[in-house]
Structure 1
Amino acid sequence: MFGNTLMLYDEGSFGRHSCRADRKNKGTRSKRKNNRWKAADGEFRCTHCKQMVFTATAMGTVHRNHCPHCLHSVHVDTKPGNRASTCQSRMIPVGLTIKHNGFDKYGKARCGDVMLVHHCSGCGAVNINRIAGDVSCDRIIDVFEGSLSMDHAQKATIETKGIIPTAFNSDLLEPIFSYLLNG
């Protein structure tokens, strides 16, 4: 008994986290959080072309947020997979880039996955998303061709984020088309 309050603790446990009431509340909060993640990583309907999009880890991505049919996305992440964005606006595919995986022992840059560059129609944010294995090569080529006519203001916005669009860097074209031919 502490003052006029009765504190219930489990045997062998110390501190406020050992109180039975705290443990009960914490459990319901974490269940709610897990349900939010399950709902965010499941199937969804594309906001642009209205087709159903299904997720599968075999396609190369765990947190899928772009449509394989039209490549449009929804601004759901502030960091990959966290589903914490409050914007929720449509993201338009504006270009392609290569994810850089550091440097090899000779100082040469290692090229990684082909990535989609998305521009948010709501807040103007620029994000990159890994291309899933079920995306049509024709759609990827359409995005690439569209990026050739990108205006300078949009190009500058993308480059301030440290993203180099493939249309403006011929060194990145070979990995893109190698991926399309062999992927």
Structure 2
Amino acid sequence: MVSMRAVDGEERTIELSFSSEEPYERWWGVEILDHTEGCIDLERLNSIGCVLFNHNRDVVIAKIEKAWVENLRGYARIKFDEDEASDIIYKKVQNGTLKGVSTGYQVTNWEEVAANKKSEDERFTGPCDIAKRWMPFEISVVSVPADATVGVGRELGDTFRNETGRTLDYFSRQLQINKNKFFKEEII
């Protein structure tokens, strides 16, 4: 169940859980978002992050006042805007109609754990892919979350798989990571 609660004395402000280490079955295998020290980069959320409705970038409903990690979960304090569209969502959250929370994020470092093997820190058993360095860039209040424990949204991509079970999305992400590394090295 998603954890959302009003902040005492602060109108339109709630605290919520937006991510966890709950294993999630993606189309290419099991994904885990590591929440240990140094794995999650909250700088963007804390500096320019905003809250959307259903990941729609044109429907900004709240600002993020603070994001942090506690007990291996991502938390945020958000304050809803006062425009009509935001007010509708805020009232649905207050009434308990909308309980789902999701996050959009980018992973820059993966640990691939083979079947029946342990992760480097021995906390997870494969097969799984662990996001060892990742950055959330938005939080969304959603009507249908993928992970009901916190509502972490991990959207489905294409369903094509090669012989290793990897999809085009996986290779696309890896290609972008490699490009980022190449351009960073070229600049330095």
TM-score by length of 1: 0.25
Q: Which one has more relative contact order, counting CA pairs under 8 Å at least 6 apart?
A: 2
Which structure's residues are more often strand, by fraction? 2
TM-score (norm 2): 0.24
Q: Give the greater-gyration-radius structure (CA).
A: 1
**More helix per residue:** 1
